[in-house]
Structure 1
Amino acid sequence: MVKRVAVILSGCGVYDGTEIHEASAVLVHLSRAGAKVQMFAPNADQMHTVNHCEGKPTEEKRNILQESARIARGAVTDLAKLDVAAFDAAIIPGGFGVAKNLSDWAVKGKEYTIQPDVEKLIKAFHKAGKPLGMCCISPVLAAKALPGCELTVGQDKECEKWPYAGTASVMKEMGCKHVNKNVGEAHVDVKNKLVTTCAFMCNAPYHEVFDGVGAMVKEVLKLA
């Protein structure tokens, strides 16, 4: 039976949107597994636009849905139109867009909130007993929407040194169980049907990130 998976994007580019390599890895692994995929993104302005050569914000304004269409080859739908009943699972790749466009984690840290449509879909998939896959920084969405869940953003010590410093510690402070995993591994929270992997939260080679995302996708499809 073909599994139907919703993939949630947050723009295009690691510093202000979806991490492109993570999104590509998700799509390749889903395609190889024969899953039917539909991509979604909020139809709203990005928090800001970053010049990826310099790593600095510009004056330019960009739309999350339009930017996500770059990854989706045009085939992306407004997140507000996502019908949970039409899917068996949902996966959210990482990138700073998760922390800036799908939530305000990048600005508020522990006091962050999730974009309403994103929080709604996470809770709806969870209530329906349908699995969720998240990689890199996107597990922070689950930490807020599914209190007490188990997740991984990699190794505690490495996460303290990398660009998302302190993430694992904050997840623990919020009451979540953080599980140390290597980049090629995924953690399965059986109770919540939540599958997470660290991806670029660790300073790892591209192929190892690709393999870790594959482990996450495999476990999500098992649960679907």
Structure 2
Amino acid sequence: MVNCVKKRLNLAKKRFFMSKNIAVILSGCGHLDGSEIRESVIGLVALSEFGAEPHFFAPNVDESVINHNNNEQMGQKRNALLESARISRGNIKDLSAAKMTNFDGIFFPGGSGAASVLCNFATKGVNAVALPEVERIISESLEQKKPIAACCIAPALLACATNSLSPKLTLTLGATSSASKTVESMGITHKECQANEIVCDNDRKVVTTPAYMSDASLFNISVGVRKMIKQMIDWT
């Protein structure tokens, strides 16, 4: 019993003194028009578990608002940065201020905002491009060999932001779907994956998991997101 307590204390000390700084890129608040709240929170819990400190960023752009009760457009715009502050509890910066030299890795939660705010995959498909600041931060991560974690639809964002990359990334959007076929047509290697599993591109240090792209329980989604975050931290 005493040895077990000592072991846990030593692990806690190690994590405290070796804390990693992770950039968390949000796109609003809510799965239909911004960042998926559950995926974001599960990822933040896992970052805390593995001794990492999140630093929040979002683009300072407007986004269309969806009524989350009936899935209908509300005919209004909100600011993605201000909406993201709901998840980060404030303390969030414009994405333009993020420099990967200051961070050990980067985490992209899913949610429709990843495909409609951070890029235009939702409307442009194979011809989609990422916001310039998003493409920059992803390019910096790859160039500096900093690990990237992305879940749900966010791996499609990585496809949009790495058009000039060769060879292309390996990632997952879960089971074969119209979205997975689209990223494959963009040159991406897509691997089918369950919600409680991850897919790793070890050469690029990119780890992905399907999360709500799968018809799975919240528990299995949490298992996959936790594995994803752990792999990212293990690569740092």
**Which residue of the partner structure matches residue 41 of structure 2?**
24
Q: Distance in 1 between matches of 2:161 and 2:85?
A: 26
The counterpart of 1:169, out of the listed 181, 203, 216, is 181
Superposition map of 1:67-216 within 5 A:
67-146=83-162, 147=165, 148-156=168-176, 160=177, 166-216=178-228
Measured against aligned partners, the alpha-carbon deviations of 1:193-215 in whole angstroms (never above 9, x if no partner) come to 10000000001111111111001
How far off is 1:145 after superposition?
2.6
How far off is 1:144 after superposition?
2.5
How far off is 1:171 after superposition?
1.5
Greater per-residue strand proportion: 2
1:222 maps onto 2:230 in alignment: no
5+ residue gaps, structure 1, are 161-165
Q: Which moved more, 1:108-117 or 1:145-154?
A: 145-154
The normalised TM-score by structure 2 is 0.89
Matched letter for residue 153 of structure 1 = L
5+ residue gaps, structure 2, are 1-17
Q: Percent identity?
A: 39
Q: Distance in 1 between matches of 2:45 and 2:230?
A: 12
Conserved 8 A contact 2:121-2:157: no
Q: Distance in 1 between matches of 2:180 and 2:123?
A: 17
- Superposed CA RMSD in Å reads 0.9
Q: Distance in 2 between matches of 1:41 and 1:175?
A: 27
Per the alignment, in what secondary structure is the counterpart of residue 49 of structure 1?
A: strand
Moved over 2 A (4+): 144-147
Matched letter for residue 149 of structure 1 = L
Conserved 8 A contact 2:119-2:160: no
Measured against aligned partners, the alpha-carbon deviations of 1:1-55 in whole angstroms (never above 9, x if no partner) come to 2111000000000000000000001100001111011011001111x10011110
Q: Distance in 2 between matches of 1:175 and 1:109?
A: 13
Measured against aligned partners, the alpha-carbon deviations of 1:51-104 in whole angstroms (never above 9, x if no partner) come to 111101112220000000000011211100002111000000000001110011
